Amino acid sequence: MAGFQTFINGTSFDVLNAMSFNYVIDVIDTSGAGSRSYSSQSMDYSAFILNNFSATTYEPRNYSVSVSGNTVSWSVPNAVKIVVFAVPKQGADTGYGGFAYYDYPGGQRTVKLAPDFVPFNLVQVIDIGAGQGDLVTVVPLEKGMVVFHRALNMSINQYDQIVWEQVSGNGRHVLRVTNNPYGGRLYVFSDMLLNIPAGGFYMYRDGRMVWHSNCLPLNVRQMPGGDIDSDRPLAVVSNVSASLFLRQDPQFPTGYENRQCAAAGYVNGRWRATIAATFSSRFISDPREGESIRPWAVGGYPGYIETTLYDDYYRAALGQ
């Protein structure tokens, strides 16, 4: 094709021209109410909650995220991750005086990549076997992070059912895995740069490198509800999505408490992702406990990614 091209070292993959116009420019870890504003006026902003829930409760909960101009506002009852997208407005230019890369949608010159809005990119891929434990990431605490997971073993014909809590240790983000029956692959994204190439394309802002040609940007979508399937592998964020109480007798409060999570894997001949894989089931024999249970489900849908490009190019991009 005509125009500027840049490739991951040792490959023919043209990263910039393969990028979506949906840039993930921020991942907010928050609880309660708050807001955050962004400086660029040349973008259309949008946001959604990546994972609505990561703890245990029986109380009904409401979640709200809204965007007005260049400000994202939220009101949430527990710790969540909010992903913020920025899409260049058609005909938009950058407010920065350095190098910028442009495209021409509809024949109109529009900024595509500039130092005032740099996307999250892939910084680590972790393959794990079954079992619980702590996984230390490469991401320092001062950087944002979002992680997706899926089953690797196609023969199990199962969703991976991996659940974790995000904690900290030795100055880094740590994934404390609490449920992991089959193992899987984790994809870690952050706003940091690794494996800077000896030669290639670089972008700077005020003397600081903010992008280079080995970066694989995050391209995340929100699950539309229910299960989705694909010809390509899918991965989802860690998200406990529901707690259900299945009574044995409608008139007598004993039965099974089932907890569900977002999960991904190879199921019935297709790559699939779901918001409702049952990962925990407990029998309630005490009617008093059964009477006290209040079932709940999250109000939104978690984020997911297609992983083929990351699977194909992460070793070259990360220098492994």
Q: How many domains does the chain have?
A: 1
- Asked whether residue 126 is domain-assigned, the answer is yes
User: What's the CA gap between 79 and 34, in Å, rounded?
Assistant: 12
275 belongs to a structural domain: no
CA distances from 93 to 99, 103, 110, 148, 186 (A): 12, 11, 6, 33, 36
Report if residue 246 sits inside a domain.
no
Specify the pLDDT at position 53: 56
In a domain? residue 80: yes
In-domain check, residue 234: no
Is 41 exposed, middle or buried (CB count within 10 Å of its CB: 0-12, 13-18, 19+)? exposed
239 falls within a domain: no
- CA-closest candidate to residue 36, choices 53, 80, 45, 190: 45
Q: 87 lies in a domain?
A: yes
**φ and ψ at residue 312, rounded to 5 degrees:** -75, -35
Full residue range of the structural domain in which residue 129 is found = 21-225+302-318
Contact 320, 9 (CB under 8 A): no
Output the tens digit of pLDDT for each of the chain's 320 residues.
Answer: 446 777 888 888 887 777 665 678 899 999 999 999 998 777 889 999 887 654 445 566 678 899 999 999 999 888 888 999 988 887 778 776 667 777 777 888 887 777 666 679 999 999 999 999 999 999 999 999 999 999 998 888 899 999 999 999 999 999 999 999 999 999 999 999 999 998 888 888 778 888 888 999 999 998 887 789 999 999 999 888 888 888 888 788 898 889 899 999 999 999 999 988 999 899 999 988 888 887 877 767 889 999 999 999 999 999 99
Q: Per the domain annotation, does 277 fall within a domain?
A: no
Would the pTM of this model clear 0.85, i.e. be above it? yes
What is the predicted pLDDT for the residue at 52? 60
pLDDT given for residue 150 in this prediction: 97
- Residue 55's pLDDT is what? 47
- The predicted structure's pLDDT at residue 21: 53
**Would you state the pLDDT for residue 1?**
44
